[in-house]
Structure 1
Amino acid sequence: MPRATGPLAEALARRAVLLDGGLSNQLADQGCDLSGGMWTGRVLAERPGQVEAAHTAYVRAGAEVLITASYQVGHDPDLLERSVRVAGAAARAAAREVWVAASVGPYGALLADGSEYRGRYGLTEAELAAFHRPRIGALLAAGPDVLALETVPDVLEARALLRVLAGTGARAWLTYTVAGGRTRAGQPLAEAFALAAAAPEVIAVGVNCCDPADVLPALAAAASVTAKPLVAYPNDGSVWDAATGSWNAPAAPAPWPVEDWRAAGARLVGGCCRIGPDRIAALGPRLA
């Protein structure tokens, strides 16, 4: 896959970069069936053109980074490669620089029971590393610009992911899902973010798929232990109900103090679940 004209890390040293939004909500708006354990991966397997169309919608909204549909795919090397190829096609069609970030979802995502919002799966670091190693290998072989180690709920899983990346020369960002000033597994955020500070493979660190109100305290915690660029792509404040397979929306969505996020060090900014192209288009001018 042809790369963008310059490494994402170099861009982050100069300016803020706009991420895309939620892939699942955009695919649902396009009429796709996301039922079953594979979620967006089902659409990738059955209707890859719809995934490319969703990526293209975000390119048109101004997104500079497209996150692949590999979050819940599992270990299928063909589908993992396809996720990068499909996003790459949308990136190449843009008349400007667009990077492709290969999504590495947490172990809990494949359980399809909301475990990514709890962590503490009962597995060892070595077992989690063994789970992630072939997935990361297949994604790297497809040639993305960066890996998105995202929605990580637990410091233990972050250690496992970084263990797999160590010495590979790959580049990645690491984002936790957080609540109430801690990881979803309950660990202090400074401890969680310190792992990224010590990992040369990590080019940026922060949070995703969390309430917007949790973003600024998390960024402050990250900035206290690392000078690396920070990442923020929350959802709309909704809470996932695994039993019903639906989001419980907040009565009063929290505003996005993007300027405060930027002042705290956020350089990669976008949206996660339930944030569509319209919200990304409105976000872009606030990063200028």
Structure 2
Amino acid sequence: MPKKSNPIDTILKNHSFVVLDGALATELERYGCNLDDPLWSASILLEKPELIYQVHEDYFKAGADVAITASYQATLDGFLSRGLAEQEAIQLIQHTVELAKKARDDFWKEESSDSRPKPIVAASVGPYGAYLADGSEYKGNYGVSDETLEQFHRPRIKALIEAGADVLAVETIPSLQEAKVVAKLLKEYPETYAWLSFSLSDGTTISEGTSLKECAENFNENEQIAAIGVNCAPSSVAADAVAELHKHTEKPIIVYPNSGETYDPETKTWSGTASCEGDFHLAAEDWYRAGARIIGGCCRTEPKQIKKLAEKRSEVERVLL
């Protein structure tokens, strides 16, 4: 049973909701990075890690309470396939936490405030499908054993925890099987908390077909799961998913949708129009009313949207106080 304080609950004791950051990879692209690589944003760890630090800093300045690390696709298997030695791979995975912590600490030295919590670092644990780099994190029917998933996730989880992450962000998980495997691995680190966030098929179902109801009920008694929710779904279905989860869990609900555009995993391109580009903070009001208490953005969202979200929280809390 975890003995350390739950970092999510600590923030929620004093604030109406937790402000997450937004997209990392697409922000790196704005800084000129080419992410057409199986390692995706993790490739920048090898090339320009200072830009990862910069994006984290941008989100802290915008008002984010949480930085999600660049470890979504930073896996032992992925780095080994690139020709790195095992210890080098582990150090790179841990460096994702170190970059976020340094950005947080440097920012807080200059900008500490009684009106906002000291930000925390959430180490991203992306799904097995992200390593496959074929879009299967949006399908989830991997056809592999629990043991295969355990062997894949264990070394990265160990590295991220040992690097000092405040919480694990187990995100874009497409299958209940994979979620259960990760929850089992967490038991090896009983003082560690994690949030669990699924990818969606629709407003009531995760990618591989399991209902959100069943997903929530599977983890309601797990004290290490600090929050449960959805990410990288279109903003148009986010409120429905939050409302569905709210019926079946008392855990804090997390939601960080993408911009509303459509991603093609085969061509690795986005199309369509951002559905909440100018009014992300207004859409977030719907998510909050539906029950979300940890809110941010995923792919194609930007610091300017997180800034408006943080300003909205400050505005509401000034009225309440």
Q: TM-score, normalised by structure 1?
A: 0.94
Distance 1:45 1:153, change over 3 A: same
Is the contact between residue 84 and residue 142 of structure 1 (CA under 8 Å) also seen in structure 2?
Answer: yes
Is the contact between residue 174 and residue 196 of structure 1 (CA under 8 Å) also seen in structure 2?
Answer: no
Amino-acid identity (%) = 39
Counterpart-to-counterpart distance in 2, 1:194 and 1:213 = 24
Instruction: Give the secondary structure class of the aligned counterpart of 2:38.
Output: coil
What does residue 192 of structure 2 align with? 170
Tell me the CA shift for residue 167 of structure 1: 4.9
Is the contact between residue 242 and residue 287 of structure 2 (CA under 8 Å) also seen in structure 1?
Answer: yes
Instruction: Give the secondary structure class of the aligned counterpart of 2:210.
Output: coil
Counterpart-to-counterpart distance in 2, 1:156 and 1:84 = 27
Greater than 6 Å deviation, 4+ residue runs: none
Q: Deviations over 1:1-46 (max 9, x none)?
A: xxxx993321123321111000011100111121210110001121
Report which of the two structures shows the higher radius of gyration computed on alpha carbons.
Answer: 2
Counterpart-to-counterpart distance in 2, 1:250 and 1:183 = 23
Letter in 1 for 2:299: C
Counterpart-to-counterpart distance in 2, 1:98 and 1:66 = 7
What does residue 79 of structure 2 align with? none
Letter in 2 for 1:13: K
Distance 1:222 1:80, change over 3 A: same
Counterpart-to-counterpart distance in 2, 1:112 and 1:226 = 32
Counterpart-to-counterpart distance in 1, 2:101 and 2:299 = 21
Q: Which moved more, 1:179-188 or 1:114-123?
A: 179-188
Instruction: Give the secondary structure class of the aligned counterpart of 1:204.
Output: strand
What does residue 317 of structure 2 align with? none
Counterpart-to-counterpart distance in 2, 1:277 and 1:104 = 22
Letter in 1 for 2:136: S
> Are residues 1:125 and 2:126 paired?
no
Q: Deviations over 1:57-77 (max 9, x none)?
A: 111111110000000011121
1:139 to 147, 151, 160: 160
Instruction: Give the secondary structure class of the aligned counterpart of 2:74.
Output: coil
What does residue 201 of structure 2 align with? 179
Q: How many residues align?
A: 284
Counterpart-to-counterpart distance in 1, 2:34 and 2:274 = 27
Tell me the CA shift for residue 224 of structure 1: 1.6
The alignment's C-alpha RMSD in Å is 1.7
Tell me the CA shift for residue 253 of structure 1: 5.1
What are structure 2's unaligned runs of at least 5 residues? 77-88, 113-117, 315-321
Q: TM-score, normalised by structure 2?
A: 0.84
Counterpart-to-counterpart distance in 1, 2:46 and 2:9 = 31
What are structure 1's unaligned runs of at least 5 residues? none
Tell me the CA shift for residue 110 of structure 1: 0.6
Tell me the CA shift for residue 128 of structure 1: 1.1
What does residue 10 of structure 2 align with? 10
Is the contact between residue 23 and residue 297 of structure 2 (CA under 8 Å) also seen in structure 1?
Answer: yes
Letter in 2 for 1:12: L
> Are residues 1:88 and 2:114 paired?
no
Is the contact between residue 173 and residue 205 of structure 1 (CA under 8 Å) also seen in structure 2?
Answer: yes
Distance 1:157 1:61, change over 3 A: same
Equivalences for residues 54-69 of structure 1 within 5 A = 54-69=55-70
What does residue 228 of structure 2 align with? 205
Distance 1:150 1:251, change over 3 A: closer
Is the contact between residue 175 and residue 207 of structure 1 (CA under 8 Å) also seen in structure 2?
Answer: yes
What does residue 241 of structure 1 align with? 264
Q: Deviations over 1:128-163 (max 9, x none)?
A: 122111110111000011000000011111111101
Counterpart-to-counterpart distance in 2, 1:108 and 1:46 = 24
Counterpart-to-counterpart distance in 2, 1:258 and 1:287 = 10
What does residue 254 of structure 2 align with? 231
Is the contact between residue 259 and residue 286 of structure 1 (CA under 8 Å) also seen in structure 2?
Answer: no
